[in-house]
């Protein structure tokens, strides 16, 4: 270790002392209602940018006010093995691994940019150069995908990229029990809400198991058995599923194998006696249809399945506009509910369950915008997530029900980072103003150089975690467990923290 690393280690020990939470937890009642909100590929730079646009400050999003805040590592087995190979170390083994190989705080920082600069950008970006296109994706990208990172949060286990709640290391293979399954065994209801198709990797990791994240649904026999959509709707049968992924079967160009749900399964769900089914309909108000369906599900004591989304599979992002310092966020099309509408509909159904619930809410548009370096769409997606969290808080704050901050645990985090945005400190971002961006040769560029992207891929940077309500201190109990003298936790710790918060084993 060189002298610079010694200095950094000393500074970490001063800045992040150990923190004990046992006494605080012993005096708290369990979290009966758990809500996990995920901004797919959201890094602190995306939060900062959206906050600057909405408020003129870098810490103005609603979750920036939460009482507990920390940072999370997201590496998967592929990431670990990538770094281990470069260091001449053995590959990952669950019984003997060094967390600092998966993420090294002395290289990447104990806090993410812009709070702290990494020791060297090449720690995150050295293998992302376009010259390496001859390598496989797994070899080229030293960062997790959504399947492995969501699996870590949902099951507490590190897995290989592309697998959904499926263990495949050290000779072991098989389905991993998720937080949803664990809480359901204790009587809780479960729900998933996402702007992406419900069989996409992030929601799938909580309510299904598959060795291939792309195995969306079953048409014929498959080497990996049943498809993700089929398992979710026919076997797991969550109490609420609201998502994109509508098949648009009236589209003459619809190709079944490129969709997210088979026509057979789609027709079965329309006729289901167990679910109230509501879907995208041209020239219908999607938010109103979903609200009515949720209320009907409550009246009839049924489950709720809402299927929306444009032909790309996603619920569209809202329009974000600024006029005379007034910023408006509105859905461009009323045919689809907003993510906030979907979250409220889910809570309307789930709150009727006497033994509590677990709800996962995902905004997938942040990742999609990072994949094209589309800054404006990224701002729209993060603003939409902020609106959604505000709607969740307002729902919990309603009087005359059992939901309050003594019984509800609300967590906002990200599955991984992406884009590697860096700001120009000489041109600060201002409220209501978006940098000019132009599409040149298929690539977004920023002629005034207010910011830059380092990659279109995911990165192994730290992401943030925020918690509000019941038993938030459970997360503090994992600080420094893998990374001494820091406040960093790992994404696998989220699973264990949620179980502790709910007081289940």
pLDDT tens digits along 298-333 = 999 999 999 999 989 999 999 998 887 789 999 888
Mean pLDDT of 427-444: 93
Q: First and final CA of the chain: distance in angstroms?
A: 40
Split at pLDDT 50, 70, 90, the class of 65 is: very high
Q: Among 3.40.720.10, 3.20.20.10, 1.20.120.1810, 3.40.50.12280, name the CATH number for the domain at 3-502.
A: 3.40.720.10
Residue with more model confidence, 23 or 489: 489
- Give the residues across from 424 on adjacent strands: none
Distance CA 79, CA 93 (A): 13
CA distance readout (Å), 474 to 149, 470, 497: 20, 10, 5
The answer to pTM > 0.85 is yes
49-58, 71-80, 212-221, 374-383: lowest mean pLDDT where?
212-221
User: What does the pLDDT read at residue 169?
Assistant: 61
27-36, 135-144, 203-212, 279-288: lowest mean pLDDT where?
135-144
User: What does the pLDDT read at residue 52?
Assistant: 97
Per DSSP, the residues of 379-410 read HHHHHHHHHHHHHHHHHHT-SSSS-STTTEEE
Q: Where are the domains of the chain?
A: 3-502
Distance CA 236, CA 426 (A): 52
User: What does the pLDDT read at residue 441?
Assistant: 87
Q: Indicate if the pLDDT at residue 130 is higher than 80.
A: no
**Of 314, 226, 240, nearest to 277 (Cα)?**
240
For the record, the structure tokens of 83 come out as 């770094």
| pLDDT per residue as tens digits for the range 366-385 | 999 999 999 999 999 999 99
| pLDDT per residue as tens digits for the range 176-232 | 999 999 999 999 999 999 999 999 999 999 999 999 999 998 865 555 578 999 999
């Amino acid at each position: 270790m060189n002298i610079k690393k010694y200095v950094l280690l000393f500074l970490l020990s001063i800045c992040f002392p150990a923190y004990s939470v046992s006494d605080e937890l012993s005096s708290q009642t369990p979290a009966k209602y758990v809500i996990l909100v995920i901004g797919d590929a959201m890094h602190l730079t995306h939060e900062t940018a959206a906050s600057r646009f909405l408020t003129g400050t870098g810490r103005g999003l609603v979750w920036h006010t939460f009482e507990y805040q920390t940072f999370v590592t997201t590496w998967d087995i592929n990431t670990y093995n990538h770094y281990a190979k470069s260091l001449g170390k053995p590959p990952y083994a669950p019984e003997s691994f060094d967390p600092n190989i998966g993420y090294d705080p002395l290289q990447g920082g104990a806090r993410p940019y812009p709070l702290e600069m990494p020791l060297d950008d090449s720690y995150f970006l050295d293998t992302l150069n376009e010259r390496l296109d001859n390598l496989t994706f797994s070899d080229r990208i030293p960062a997790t995908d959504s399947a492995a990172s969501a699996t870590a949060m949902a099951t507490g286990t590190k897995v290989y990229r592309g697998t959904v709640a499926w263990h495949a290391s050290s000779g072991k293979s098989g389905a991993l029990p998720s937080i949803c399954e664990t809480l359901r065994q204790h009587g809780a209801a479960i729900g998933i809400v996402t702007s992406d198709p419900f069989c996409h990797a992030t929601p799938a990791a909580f309510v299904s198991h598959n060795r291939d994240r792309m195995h969306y649904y079953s048409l014929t026999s498959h080497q990996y058995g049943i498809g993700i959509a089929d398992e979710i709707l026919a076997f797991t049968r969550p109490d609420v599923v609201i998502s994109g992924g509508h098949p648009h079967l009236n589209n003459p160009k619809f190709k079944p194998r490129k969709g997210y749900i088979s026509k057979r399964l789609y027709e079965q769900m329309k006729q289901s006696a167990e679910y109230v089914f509501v879907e995208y309909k041209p020239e219908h108000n999607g938010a109103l249809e979903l609200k009515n369906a949720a209320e009907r599900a409550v009246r009839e004591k049924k489950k709720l399945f809402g299927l929306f989304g444009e032909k790309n599979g996603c619920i569209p992002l809202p329009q974000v506009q600024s006029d005379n310092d007034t910023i408006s966020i509105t859905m461009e099309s009323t045919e689809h509910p907003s993510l906030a509408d979907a979250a409220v509909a889910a809570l309307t159904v789930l709150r009727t369950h006497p033994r509590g619930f677990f709800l996962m809410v995902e905004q997938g548009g942040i990742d999609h915008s990072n994949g094209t370096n589309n800054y404006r769409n990224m701002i729209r997606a993060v603003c939409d997530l902020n609106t959604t969290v505000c709607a969740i808080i307002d729902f919990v704050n309603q009087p005359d029900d059992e939901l309050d901050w003594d019984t509800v645990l609300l967590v906002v985090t990200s599955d991984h980072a992406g884009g590697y945005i860096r700001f120009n400190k000489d041109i600060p971002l201002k409220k209501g103003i978006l940098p000019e961006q132009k599409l040149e040769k298929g690539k977004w560029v920023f002629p005034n150089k207010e910011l830059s992207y380092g990659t279109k891929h995911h990165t192994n940077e730290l992401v943030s975690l925020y918690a509000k309500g019941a038993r938030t201190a459970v997360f503090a109990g994992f600080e420094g467990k893998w990374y001494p003298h820091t406040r960093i936790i790992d994404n696998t710790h989220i699973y264990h923290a949620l179980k502790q918060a709910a007081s289940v084993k």
